[in-house]
Structure 1
């Protein structure tokens, strides 16, 4: 065991995150994450770091006790997901404070994502080609439904902007009011509307952590629609992209998420949304 390896401080679908010394973390792959994915995430992260985006500094790929991982700068703050959870568990709040929290979280997220989308000309894969591949391997929709979703995707305009690919609240770290984005595995060049659609779908349908008490879960569930509404309003004000333009991307992005490691309830919600739109 390496002497610098500290306690486990986080976990995702494909990795465990451990402290590394006093100011770094190492993201160690689980068995479901292969070498290609690790190398791709590291290379993507290096690209956005070199472009000057607000991300933790990447250092190197390391092997620890037979597990490959990526060494990063440690951001000592809270994730947006953690902020929602902490606000939910802090006790009853007034309607005024609840709306203030919603607006604050929506504003900082919209401003961050809009900033990401101002970049282009990075050596990253095509968002559209990735989406076609992922939709094609989804096993819970019919061939006819896949063809219909792919036809929708083909009709959408093509853009060439940097997209994060997985802008969910767990990948948005906040330190002293500044956002640092993590997990650039799915970064691509394409349409900002797809990133926005991904965020909307996550906010509306993602299952909450199982440890949340019922009252706290009810609090967060009660924020979903208002959070989406304020976020879309803020992003649209910054970018000029309309809700109608974003809405056109919901079905293709939702179809992509069917191939992810998600729960049965979330999968059912996505399927219902897709089929309603076809």
Structure 2
């Protein structure tokens, strides 16, 4: 065991997560498919968010552990929103409670408040959201070159803003600690349009296919409440910011195309996204 390295507590597409030192910190160790610069960028993005006073893990340093690059962060002891959603679904099924589709099962309002807090900041020395989106669309293997060009043309027509954006509004990245939300995983952060974050959240809720290891009750509840979750999310965000669903709608096309290069989504979900992209291109 490397000195300071504790138990493994998580894993993503690009890194493994371990306890670090006394347990008050975690370290993300890069997998072979991840270059050290990616962890350095995530650390920088998190430092930027931390300096804005946003609810994020305190960032520490980039270190080398047995030849692997690692980024050290504060350990957040909290309950992921996605975990709470699954537990609610199982409990409701166990108790055979009737489903109220207007209940905020996935904490959409808390998520909207958190993202409005993030989007209220404009900072320097961050990647361009628009360039990131354009580059990802160009790499999407499931679309023809003509389709990619058409999506990018639609993207280029959208207004430009310069707000801090997280880039991965996944319920699994939001932890609830003492009833306050903390957001982790800042590797995709950038400066750009809040509408892009919002569109990605809408796409995620509308089309997500849950992993097969999760209880079936979670998929049943999500399928029954997808559009209600989106409505609750957008109503709360509009109340705080004035940005409406109609402002987000034009961003669905480029963000769906971008998501085709994301790690960790199933082929079934990619097929749903491709169908939605082609439907919108045909309408255009």
TM-score scaled by length of structure 2? 0.92
Shift of 1:214: 2.2
Q: For 1:113-192, list aligned pairs within 5 A.
A: 113-192=115-194
Shift of 1:67: 1.9
Alignment partner of 1:13 is 2:17: no
Partners of 2:146 and 2:207 in 1: CA distance: 24
Shift of 1:274: 0.7
- 8 Å contact 2:104–2:229 — kept in the other structure? no
Shift of 1:216: 3.2
CA displacement 1:211-262 (0-9 Å, x = unmatched): 1232332123222221111111111121111111101000001111111122
Give the match for residue 84 of structure 1: 85
Give the match for residue 53 of structure 1: 54
Task: Identify which of 210, 213, 216 aligns with 2:215.
Answer: 213
Partners of 1:4 and 1:85 in 2: CA distance: 33
Moved over 4 A (4+): none
- 8 Å contact 2:27–2:73 — kept in the other structure? yes
Shift of 1:79: 1.1
TM-score scaled by length of structure 1? 0.94
Give the match for residue 23 of structure 2: 22
Shift of 1:185: 0.9
- 8 Å contact 1:198–1:254 — kept in the other structure? yes
Q: Secondary structure at the match of 1:72?
A: strand
Alignment partner of 1:266 is 2:265: no
Partners of 1:80 and 1:198 in 2: CA distance: 17
Partners of 1:65 and 1:221 in 2: CA distance: 44
Alignment partner of 1:94 is 2:98: yes
Q: Secondary structure at the match of 1:95?
A: coil
Give the match for residue 67 of structure 1: 68
Partners of 1:28 and 1:88 in 2: CA distance: 33
Q: For 1:228-247, list aligned pairs within 5 A.
A: 228-247=230-249
- 8 Å contact 2:104–2:232 — kept in the other structure? no
Cα gap change, 1:49 to 1:151, in 2 (>3 Å): same
Partners of 1:200 and 1:88 in 2: CA distance: 20
- 8 Å contact 1:6–1:18 — kept in the other structure? yes
Give the RMSD, CA atoms, in angstroms. Answer: 1.5
Partners of 2:220 and 2:26 in 1: CA distance: 33
Partners of 1:182 and 1:29 in 2: CA distance: 16
Cα gap change, 1:122 to 1:179, in 2 (>3 Å): farther
Give the match for residue 33 of structure 2: 32
Q: Secondary structure at the match of 1:167?
A: coil
Count residues in correspondence: 276
5+ residue gaps, structure 2: none
5+ residue gaps, structure 1: none
